[in-house]
Chain A
Amino acid sequence: SQQGEEDPQALSIQEGENATMNCSYKTSINNLQWYRQNSGRGLVHLILIRSNEREKHSGRLRVTLDTSKKSSSLLITASRAADTASYFCATDPGSNYKLTFGKGTLLTVNP
């Protein structure tokens, strides 16, 4: 079964707006990661947050992690049309090497 579940499934916004995506997971984790996928291509790593961290920033990306609620959020600020892609969270349980992904959020940024 899939560990992470992203919410919403799809999100459409205007350029310049902020985009927030959420991820919920089921079991304890070592770290949680966010990835981006442009249509029909492989995934590209965006950011990793460890289980003992609560917030992390990278450029226009901000990730939060709440281990008590088993949830994470990805915020993209001042979005651009080029941010249009699918975004996935992935969880590493730390104990069995297994890296599992959710179903993804399709973000569309309209010019």
Chain B
Amino acid sequence: DVKVTQSSRYLVKRTGEKVFLECVQDMDHENMFWYRQDPGLGLRLIYFSYDVKMKEKGDIPEGYSVSREKKERFSLILESASTNQTSMYLCASTRPANTEAFFGQGTRLTVV
């Protein structure tokens, strides 16, 4: 059974903290993505990576960075968390042809 696993289901952090969201996939996929999902706004792409150590900005990269040191792991970093980053974060992976994305269960982050 293929899997994308996000490190936490729920997370509460304080304003100004550095936050790491981890995502691991076991399908040897080249592409990995981080999205945030907010009511009425759907899924918005934050960053994606098509290879180890490669990263590309999505539509809303401000306030975020990413790291991909190994093929199976893609980390999203909030350098200094703010309340407007309270959201559901979804990680996904695909093969190069983007034929089917597999999603993690999501991390609901609350910044207080």
Taking beta carbons and an 8 Å cutoff, which residues of A are in contact with B? 1-2, 30-31, 33, 35, 40-45, 48, 88, 90, 92, 94, 96-104
Contact = CB atoms under 8 A, between A and B. Distances in A.
Nearest to A99: B98
Nearest to B4: A42
5 contacts: A2-B42, A35-B101, A43-B101, A45-B102, A97-B96
Interface stretch (B43-51, B61-69, B78-86): B43-51
Given A97-B48, A97-B56, A98-B58, A88 B43 contact: yes
A47 B99 CA distance: 9
Interface residues of B, number: 31
Interface in B51-99: 56, 58-59, 88, 90, 92, 94, 96-99
B50 to A, nearest CB: 4
Contacts of B101: 33, 35, 43, 45, 90, 99
From DSSP, what is the main secondary structure of chain B's interface residues? strand
Contact of B98 (A1, A97, A103): A97
A91 B100 CA distance: 11
B104 A1 contact: no
Nearest to B57: A98
A40 B102 CA distance: 16
Contact of A98 (B41, B56, B92): B56
B33 A41 contact: no
